[in-house]
A and B are shown apart, each in its own frame.
Chain A
Amino acid sequence: MLEIKNLHVKLEEEDKVILKGVNLTVETGKVHAIMGPNGSGKSTLSYVLSGRDGYEVTDGSALLEGEELLEMEPEERAAAGLFLAFQYPVEIPGVGNMTFLRTALNAQRKARGQDELSAGEFLKVVREKAKTLKIDADMLKRPVNVGFSGGEKKRNEILQMAMLEPKMCILDETDSGLDVDAMRLVADGVNALRDAGRSFLVITHYQRLLDHIKPDVVHIMADGRIIQTGGPELALEVEQNGYADILKAHGLTEAV
């Protein structure tokens, strides 16, 4: 599904290298987790994959089902099936949540040569999906993320994911700022979307989200590289011992 090879990225404005050769393959239908200390480059990886400005790819590639993501515009990546659940979902005053969702869904459908969804069809689907995420009608009408609580914002991200039905979902610290109940709701939403044709890349600092969203593979990222890969037990090890031992084994210190 997603194949990242030797990805090197620096900041556009400063001479600061963030990713120093990331190699990562996420197979179709699998859930991969990336853990790592602050500043290891986890969020940068998610931004670079989704096409945010401000980063310069100096080497490497990132293929989504064999197609080079790095050459596409952000909207083309989305239409190709990539989805990023933002760590900090953005507020768009005056634009109704429903309008936003419908515009996005129809833009993607149009880009893929599919018919646009009519208002009636769309409403039916969105109401159904919102219900399972405990998103009420009021939240659908309010402007995108404006005045939403932390939990509401994250649920809204998952609603977008459920509506857009991407192939490759990246969750960037979706657990940050969530209490236990909100985290469970979000995790349930994500788990409901797991299927054989959809892959996930779950970026998180803590192991606790992975109690709810069980990964197939866990990667540890530090200093712009993936330094260790293992099964779910690797996440538990981090939970118990922190990152210090793993970092030390790779000649790194925690205070990056």
Chain B
Amino acid sequence: MAHRPISRRNLPPLAALLIIMSLFVAACGGSSPAQTEPTAAAPPPTTVAATAVAAAPEASSKTRLVFAGNQEPASIDVVTMSGNVNEREVAAQIFETLVYIDQSQTIYPGLALSWDRSEDAKVWTFKLTQGVKWHDGREFTAQDVVDYFNYVRDNGTVGTGPGQIKPVLGSAEVVDSSTVKLTLTASRPDFLIELADPGLGIGNIANLQKLGPDAGFNPVGTGPFKFKEWVRGSEIALVRNPDWTWASPMFQMSGPAKIEELVFRFIPEAQTRMATLEAGEVDFVDLLPFQDVARVREDNRFAVTGFLLPGMPQMNYMHTELAPTNDINVRKAIIYATDKQGIIESVYFNMVEPAYGPISRAFPEYDPALEQMYSYDPEKAMQLLEEAGWKLGADGVRTKDGQRLEVTIVENKSWNDWVYVLQANLQAVGFDAKVLTTQGPSNTEAIVSGKYQVPAMGDVFAAASQMTRDWSMEGYGTFPSGHFLKGAEGEKLEAMLKAVETELDPAKRKQMFSDIQTYIMENALMVPIFELYFYAAHSSNLKSFIVDGTGFYKYFASAYFE
């Protein structure tokens, strides 16, 4: 067959073929020369301090920082916003809290210059920072703080941040032009840690009352950045507040922020988010996929930060009244059958660490004795099930009195990729384990329905006493333990939690926390899986941003490009 020269007429299909072939090459070859297989690396960092504030920064001329998050806020009014991660991230730059807390768990002055508390931790007096102004030029006063707390106390629906303290807010009063006194209805030793939550920035009630719901799209705060523009579905732009001269000592700076424009772009697709960093379109990427961590670390254009998040590790609750998890031996069998290390290796590329109880080891109240309580032991799991009368059937599923050993794991699609390994682990010892996939509100609905035995959960909070929200029988919003933690176990735990919330003696508190953790694990009320880690990547020349006490939120007031 004779070869014909390529004519102009032959070009279109050739070009199309070339494009498709190049796409396949791109797909197969990847883009970064630094790509490596994740190795059985050293354990992830415990708490990686945020980039230290440099003593003598040599700033570059770049003053525009683009941050890529995953979810666009519905509102950024700090009083009423629902409080997803990116809402708080944006609000943390616009609004200021009375106090701040950093990764070392040090509490710094914020809008409150100093504070004092009564012995019973019910009355808190705050001396306010002077010279503070709202972004609209109005002076920030003690009355503004009182108005904020009164609004939170008196209004039915407030956001997740204020919602945390709403149940204990008693009265707020102006003592003098720079002093505010808050009286709580219960002792709250950890109140300052709660107040440092970016979701508890002091909101502008005057603006809220003037604009109503539209305040969420025209926020007026006192923080280092002012709202500029919201391009719906795409990005929120903030600009430097030139009047901001009252920086918290946490920022180790005075004067306005170094970054002139701070843009938050919302990119739901993780791979696209990462690609925008690699293409130089953004400077900071949140929620770095675990599979990308090792590869990005190898690339000297970027720096990776990893944070152990304090709170409740990734885990599964176990329904104590619903069969078959109403049997403690079944619950214990589930814990023994769970291959945590397998999950960590296969799903998280060794970028997280195993968990052993209801609170993270980031807390001083964490009890390391829990680590010896259970191990991965499928034989032991099968033995416990046998003793409980669950006999293995021909189809590999155990039965007892004609009932199959059936459990449903509730998966939150956004966070719980590991549940399929757990499902396989349980099937291996004779469970008929099913997975119910949910997302967003349907996750809460599935859990509060109380129809499922082992819903997956995880939570982030800065003070160990906040674990109450995960274990209270009353249940609360996204923390619906009360919908399935029933009976004597639930009541006893509830009493222990209430007691520790108001205990002031540090030694006694530690012991009480230890008792709570032991009680939860001895009664097999949960399956601990792994400690929550949060990875982010940013341009390696971005310096001096600060991460809050939970490890989730970044402050960019002191950030600059080297």
A, B in one complex: no
